[in-house]
A and B are shown apart, each in its own frame.
Chain A
């Protein structure tokens, strides 16, 4: 994700503070589902990680590809260090059946 964000050539502000530029590297990045969140410093990153459901907003379900707002009861799975939230339990089971295929958006570019 940081590599892609750098290659896109776009500037991103800190997720919490739009006045500060985000640092685009793995140390300042948090991934949830297909979304990436970048922060200006590690303190902001840890603030996000302390309660991601409070701050993340809408996420993309990796199976149905729809945007939804996860809550504490949303099914979740962890794959290669990335937490994925799902709309329902069935999507979580489908993801775990083929996590390697669904872990990234995977569309042709």
Chain B
């Protein structure tokens, strides 16, 4: 009786270890049927429980950081800027375009007055033919 209880504990522990090793697919109905036809659990469990965790399994076991990355982000995304106007990448990395509150992106990527100067997202644009022209 006592040995039988030990086998049950080992079986439970092996199940916990397999859960900790990572997610597993749900067993197919045919597999479940095969398991039910097998010998009693205590006879098969010792063969499936390794004495020590293999090195390869240790290397592939997910860390706490990886688990945190896999979980969906619960925090709300941080706004890019406080006023909703922000820079967007353009062909010239040093002079990005500006996306304004109405969702339009500036037609120019450098100041329309001072050539080559980076746009200032705090300066409102003027609109020509409905397209914003940014300033520095």
| Chain A positions near chain B (C-beta within 8 angstroms) | 1, 4-5, 7-10, 12-13, 15, 22, 34-38, 57-58, 60, 65, 67, 105, 107, 109
Contacts and interface: CB of A to CB of B under 8 A. Distances in A.
A15 B130 contact: yes
Most buried by A among B112, B123, B128, B136: B128
A36 B126 contact: yes
Contacts of A1: 128
A50 B91 CA distance: 40
A15 B129 CA distance: 6
25 contacts: A4-B126, A8-B112, A10-B107, A10-B133, A12-B128, A34-B126, A34-B127, A35-B126, A35-B127, A35-B130, A36-B128, A36-B129, A38-B128, A38-B129, A57-B130, A58-B102, A58-B130, A60-B124, A67-B101, A105-B124, A105-B126, A107-B123, A109-B111, A109-B135, A109-B136
B-side interface mostly: loop
A12 B129 contact: yes
A4 B108 CA distance: 13
Contacts of B101: 67
